[in-house]
Amino acid sequence: MKRFVLGLAVAFIYFHGCVYGSESSRNQQELSNAQLAPLGLDGDSSLTGSLDGPARRLTMDSELEATEKVRVSRNISMEGSRKRPSIRYLPLSPSYGKSTHNRAVRGERSSFIEAIYETGHEPEVLYRQRRGTEQAKPKNVAKVARKVKGLAKKKAVAQQALFSYDVDVAEHLNIPQPAPQQRPTHSDGEPGWEDATAFDIDWEAAPLPPIMNRPVDWNKVDNAMPRAMQQARQQFLQQVAGLGSNPQCPVDGPVHHGPGMIWAVSSHSPFSQFAYQREIAGRQLAHQFARGDGRSLMAVAQGRGPTLIPEGECFEDRDVECDQDGPRTYDGTCVNPENPLYGSANTAQSRLGPNSYEDGVGQPRETSVVSRMMNRAKPLPTARQVSLAMSQNEDITSQKVTYMFNQMTQTVAHDLVKSDVQRIPDPKDPSKSITPTCCNQDPSCQAQDPCYPIMLPQDDRVFGEHGQTCMEFVRTQPAAISGCRMADRVPLNSVSHWLDASMVYGSKESVTNELREHRRGRMRINNATILDGAIMPPGGPNALGCVAPDDQRKCIKCGDPRCLQHTGMVAMQSFYVRLHNYFSDQLYKLKPRTSDEELFQLVRKLVTACYQHIVYDEILPIILGEKIINTPKNKLKLKKSGYGEDCDTDVSPSINTEFSTACFRFHTLSDNTLPVEDEHGEEFPLYMHFLNPNMWYKKGMIDTLLRRLAGKRAEGYDNNFAFIEQNQVFKPVNKPTGIDMYAFNLQRGRDHGLATYSDMRKTCGLSKPRSFKDLEKSMNKGDVQKLASIYRHVDDIDLYPGALAENPVNGEGLLGPTCSCVVADQFKRLRQADCHFYDKGGVFPLDALKEIRKVTLASLMCIVSPAYEDAQPQIMRVESEDNQVTSCEAILTKTTMNMRVFAKMLE
């Protein structure tokens, strides 16, 4: 009987396979040239090839309760006779959870893709979706709106990891393909960490492979370039005029229309106009000569020299005259005497890894890598979907750092980079700039380049309750690249790239002048009587969404306008202003006849030196761990005596987009509150501190906060964000929601074309994961499960969530190996290239350098804040047996600087 049933089954499979094979052939013929073009194929391209070795028998996944037939083309004989294609039952999609683990133990494949690879041959595979049939969905797909634990429930909704497709093995089709995916097993236990003390960065890393491998006729491109640039200029101007005149495209709406607009905006940059034109022209030429594949175009352009763009359309760097004996400039020019524009304000950020733009030119990444094998695009999960999948707002406090670390690193980030959102000149008044509103308007407006809104799922667990389906987001201004060459889009940095305390003094001399008293070398302070003697930065005009409630509680003015963001930033700005004036007063007592300018510049130099010392001596060891700091190749270890290495004028300090957009963003450390209490003893929720002068001017607020920042533990460095950070950042008073900083950071990464997580690991010389299973070597298994639930392929993972999920490198520090590579490289170059760095020869005398090396953040806080009576010696680290709270008197006994040493520099 069993043999009879088996015989019927075989006959049915054979008959059905023949019918299905014919149906599949018809489906192949339905594909048009337009559908095949993105894959690099013509309509008459051969879709058959060879597959060495027999297809192995597969065991059906019992959990899926569904199978799909996949036709595998056999070897084509020399005589041209073709064997009948065989049919195998393959699982519909890879499974999550225990069944995957069980199959792995039995040596079985977890997906039909792996079945193809395990034949011993790695063919180029083209995935085709079946037409005219309804495909069943796997039961166990994870839901993004709740914590992923084990197997998901049937009603859960999310993007599937992989669908079932007809597989045609194609020979000589140069189409990039994703690696076979082995899903994570569901098991308990934490993995270890990766050991890495130095990183072999691939400085010659090639861009992502082109979508197709077709030659580009460069002579035709060269001839078409002048017209392309002319059309790009016209298109740009039409876009500006259209946004400003279309009544369906509101611009420059009230602040509450989009919280994402209010924290990093500036006037429209004329330097960016050339960048817009170059990007538009590059996209046009890619469509005209490379079927939309900008990577092929850019790859050829890189070797064409500086003559590609017509001379009249080129962007040239400005000439700069440097005073070699003068102080550090405010805008960052002339810090490198051989390359005076290195690190200057309003120049491009750089890249460590390849760009991941969808078109290779400037369009943000939108589709999964598996789309390259299909006849239709498969979208990436939205930024909000990733946020919801990865963060469940779990309260996990840090075992390493205090809230002071959180505030200091945000200060450092604001010093090094400011990625202004795109603004466009107002058609009615070109001297002014406007910001488009991207949500809740005509779709034609959303399609305009500045708009890149974050779409929200209808069943969003927070925003969905309020009917919100869109979150405001405007793209960063692109930077103009000097010379007459094509290049991919890179974001602009509107502040100096140097570690120069620009957040205190500004990146323009005009800004600094407004912050100075112009007497005794001092900086202005707030004169509001309501402060009752507390020292704060001076009052300023309403800006970036801050609105003064009255004349006694004005918004404040700082070197960087982002100091208005929340009370913690106001407190840190107050600390630096106090420190500057303390040094000024001490030196003025010793040298009262010194001019205001001379005294101010020396104090600015001293404050910057103390700040640089704290960054390298206290902050970086926390972030990277001692092993990386102590490795000589990284050049991060400070000397105990003598001068450091001379500056290297061939090194650029430019801030990498991977650093600014992913690896030096510590929002995950924030809690739902700041450590200051109301009259009932409850800590104020964080959203009450945003852009709120009423909070800043409360009696004792600034000093109480400065002290308690050192006593409160930060949240853990992981993918879990506090609820307010994920849903209510910059929440208006009359609104229930704000923005999601997790989604915002991820969206900004796609806006900037950040390399994917796996590509950055490769760039840093680390092992590149080929499947989700590989991630378990360096990540918590729970995070791997979450990543596998929301991304289709391991190569789809964005850098930000991937890096947050990594365990600390070498088992110490905060960051995993990928971001440790990025951060170590950035601070190595910042120190190497800075000829004004505090430990370089000639910047300070050796006796003055000895005094600076005494400084700690705790000692400076004890000096300038009356709220400090005691503290941990390392106030950015949590209290421990090795870091016990001690009196300020004891701290200052070891760390107080002898100001007479610096007074001698004024003689």
Residue 767 makes CB contacts below 8 A (sequence gap 6+) with 761, 774, 777
Structure tokens at 177: 């393909």
Question: Which of 675, 673, 670, 684 is CA-nearest to residue 721?
Answer: 670
Amino acid of residue 371: S
In 10 A of CB 243, how many CB atoms? Answer: 23
**Phi (first) and psi of residue 674, to 5 degrees:** -105, 150
Count CA atoms within 13 Å of residue 160 on its CB side: 16
**Phi (first) and psi of residue 350, to 5 degrees:** -115, 180
Give the number of residues written for the chain: 907
Which helix (H) or strand (E) segment holds residue 453: the answer is none
**Phi (first) and psi of residue 662, to 5 degrees:** -135, -50
Structure tokens at 820: 């440790």
Instruction: Spell out the alpha helix ranges (H) of 483-554.
Output: 502-505, 509-515
How many whole angstroms separate alpha carbon 648 and alpha carbon 834? Answer: 8
Strands (E), 116-165: 124-128
Cβ pair 479, 495 in contact under 8 A: no
How many whole angstroms separate alpha carbon 788 and alpha carbon 335? Answer: 46
Place of tokens 């977890």: 110
**Phi (first) and psi of residue 439, to 5 degrees:** -105, 155
How many whole angstroms separate alpha carbon 402 and alpha carbon 885? Answer: 13
Helix (H, G, I), strand (E, B) or coil at 555: strand
In 10 A of CB 511, how many CB atoms? Answer: 17
Sign of CA dihedral 210, 215, 218, 223: negative
Burial class (CB in 10 A: 0-12, 13-18, 19+), 469: middle
In 10 A of CB 684, how many CB atoms? Answer: 18
Q: Is 121 annotated as a binding residue?
A: no
The full 3-state SS of 513-531, as one line of letters, equals: HHHECCCCCCECCCCCHHH
Residues that constitute the known binding site = 667
Residues that constitute the known binding site for heme b = 667
